[in-house]
Amino acid sequence: MYQYSLYFFKPTYAIHFYYKVDVLYRFLDQYRKGKYTDDTTQRQVSFVLEYVILNDIYEHLTSQKFSHKLDVKAENNELIIKSDSLDMKAVRNGYAIDVYANSLIDADQLFFQYIKEFHPYVFVVNFDSRECGWILPLAKKANYHI
């Protein structure tokens, strides 16, 4: 089973760091490992990342729009998501939502494609394979404002 960590970035920071994937990966990896423990760094993390509540994701996934596609259950502060023969689990981990699925394709079919409508700036990381990226491409808007 693979683990993918999803981070929900605030719009200003997502646009600024959109093309700096390596910087984001290092920042999130250090945060995940607990190397950022001082107050200043914790404030920086809270400025950059949205704290998403698992119940809000549950309500989004069980909305009438998706209820015919997904079977979602909330158990022990985690979401169990099933559809046809696929299943996965989503668990809160600080500012991250950790997704456990049999493959990236399963995670996309059960979660990623639906989470795009919940929040537009979701950065996903597989720390084991060192793969990362944005779930949605940046809209064709200027990155710089004069």
For residue 99 the two structure tokens come to 């997704």
C-alpha span between 70 and 90 (Å, rounded): 14
pLDDT tens column, 14-33: 999 999 999 999 989 988 88
AA letter at 67: S
Phi, psi of 51 (to 5 degrees): -90, 105
pTM of the model: 0.89
Whole-angstrom distance, CA of residue 110 vs CA of residue 43: 32
What is the identity of the amino acid at 125? V
Sign of the Cα torsion 54, 59, 61, 62 reads positive
Confidence of residue 7 (pLDDT cuts 50, 70, 90): very high
> Where is pLDDT greater, at 65 or 8?
8
Per-residue pLDDT at 139: 59
Structure tokens given for 67: 């209820």
pLDDT in tens, 26-58: 989 988 887 666 677 778 888 999 999 999 999
